[in-house]
Amino acid sequence: MNACSALPGLIRHCRGFGVVALALMLSSPAEAQEKATILGHLGPITSLGISPDGKLLASASTDGTARIWDLQTQRQLDTLKVSDPSMLVPSVSFSPDGKWIATGSYQRSGKEVQGLVTVWDAATRKEATRYRGGALLAFSPDGKALAVGNLGDKGNKQIDPDVWLLEPATGKKLAVLVGHQRQTTAIAFSSDNRFLATASSDGTILLWDLRKGPEKPIGTMREGDLEVTALTFSPDSKRLASIAPRDGNLVFWDVPQATQLSKQFAGRSPFLRYSPDSHVVIIGSGRDLVFFDFNLKKRKIILEGHRGDIRAIALSPNGRLIATGASDKTIKIWEMPKTD
C-alpha cells in the first residue's frame, strides 16, 4: 500500500441526495457482482473477518455466536459459542498469523454492561483463553498483542475504562493504557506496530506510542464532543482517519502530532476500513459501499441484494472479494469492480 497525501479543507456537500451526494469529482457508480449468500445466523450480523490466507470467513452476530465459514464454498465449519447465549457478539477478528480468532461479547444487566473477550485456536476452534471486562478488540500487526477496550466508566468499582494489551495465547497482561474517562468505542494499530489509537464515548481519541511506553498518551484528539466509532491508520502510519456517525464527518489527523488535517462529510456510518489498494473504505448509510481516497476522489459501489442495512465488512487480502453482513441476518460475498 502506498503512502497517501493529506486531504485539503472542507468541501461542499448535498445532504438531500444521501450519503454519497457530495459536490466534488465523482466517478460513475459501479456495481459489485454478488457471488454468494450465506445463511445461518439468527440475528443481525455485527462483525466479519477474513483469515490472512483468504480461506476462512468469521462472522459475529447478535444471536450470541460467532461462526466460521469456508470462504470458497460458503460451508459452515464451526460455531463459536460464548459462555452465555444471551450475550451479543459485536466483534470478531483473526490474528495476523492466522493462529487465533478473537471474539468480543457483552450483555446488559440493569445499568451494568458485562464484557467478555475469548481467544480461540483457529485450527481446532477450541477456547484458549478469556478476559472479562471488554468487548472491542484489535490484534497488533505483528500478532504479539491483543488490545481490548473495557466497557466501564471512571468511578465504576468493577471495571475501569482502560485499554489492556494482552498476550493472545495466554491472556497475560502486557500493559494497561489509562486515559479515557468512559468506555472504549474504537481501537486501531498502525501497520508499523508503533502507534495505537483508541476512541471513547467521552469524546476523545488518544494516541499512544508503544515504543516509548504506554504510561501516557502522546496526543489527544477531539472533534467537539462527538463519539467516534471507527479508526484506521494510513498504510504509512502517518495519518489517522476517524468517523463519528452523529455528524457524518470523516476526519484525518496527523501522526504523531495528533493535529487535525482536514475533514469532509462522508455519511453517518460506524464503519471505516482500508482496502489493499490504499483507498479508505466506508460503508454508507443503507446498502452502498463508498471508497474515499486522500486526493478527494470518491467512488460509490452499489451492492444490490441485502434487504437490510450493512453493518459489517471484510476485505480479502488481495482486495478482490468483499464480505458484507447486514441487519437482514445474511452475509454476502461480492466480487469487487475495478477501481481507477
Residues 97, 99, 105: CA angle, nearest 5 degrees: 110
CATH of the domain at 280: 2.130.10.10
- Mean pLDDT, all residues of the chain: 83
pLDDT at site 295: 63
pLDDT class of 190 with cuts at 50, 70, 90: very high
Domain limits at 122? 15-335
Low-confidence winner among 8-12, 169-173, 225-229 (lowest mean pLDDT): 8-12
Report percent pLDDT > 90 for the chain: 50
Q: What is the largest CA-CA distance in the chain?
A: 54
Which residues have CB under 8 Å from 135's CB, separation 6+?
A: 90, 91, 104, 105, 106, 115, 116, 117, 149, 151
pLDDT at 6 over 70: no
pLDDT class of 175 with cuts at 50, 70, 90: very high
pLDDT at site 291: 80
Cα(304)–Cα(281) distance, integer angstroms: 18
| Domain-located, residue 3 | no
Residues 169-175 have a mean pLDDT of 91
pLDDT at site 20: 26
Residues 228-238 have a mean pLDDT of 90
Residues 279-292 have a mean pLDDT of 75
- The answer to whether 51 and 93 are in contact (CB under 8 A) is no
> In terms of pLDDT, which residue wins out, 16 or 141?
141
Written as one letter, the residue type at 82 is V
Residues 158-183 have a mean pLDDT of 86
pLDDT at site 111: 63
Low-confidence winner among 22-26, 159-163, 273-277 (lowest mean pLDDT): 22-26
Total of domains in the chain: 1
pLDDT class of 296 with cuts at 50, 70, 90: low
Which residues have CB under 8 Å from 64's CB, separation 6+?
A: 43, 81, 82, 84, 85, 86, 87, 88, 89, 105
Residues 74-96 have a mean pLDDT of 89
Residue 55: how many other CB atoms lie within 10 Å: 13
Residues 24-51 have a mean pLDDT of 84
| Domain-located, residue 7 | no
- Which segment, 56-65, 100-109, 156-165, 214-223, is predicted with the most confidence on average? 56-65
| Domain-located, residue 302 | yes
pLDDT at 338 over 90: no
| Domain-located, residue 10 | no
Distance between start and end Cα atoms, the chain? 15
pLDDT at site 319: 84
pLDDT digits (tens, 9 = 90+) for 114-126: 888 999 999 999 9
| Domain-located, residue 163 | yes
Rg (CA), the chain: 19
pLDDT at 21 over 50: no
pLDDT at site 131: 87
- Where on the phi/psi map is residue 213: left (φ > 0), alpha (ψ -120 to 50), or beta? left
| Domain-located, residue 2 | no
| Domain-located, residue 6 | no
Low-confidence winner among 13-17, 46-50, 162-166, 281-285 (lowest mean pLDDT): 13-17
pLDDT at site 153: 60
pLDDT at site 12: 23
pLDDT at site 24: 30
Alpha carbons within 13 A on the beta-carbon side of 106: 22
> In terms of pLDDT, which residue wins out, 20 or 107?
107
| Domain-located, residue 9 | no
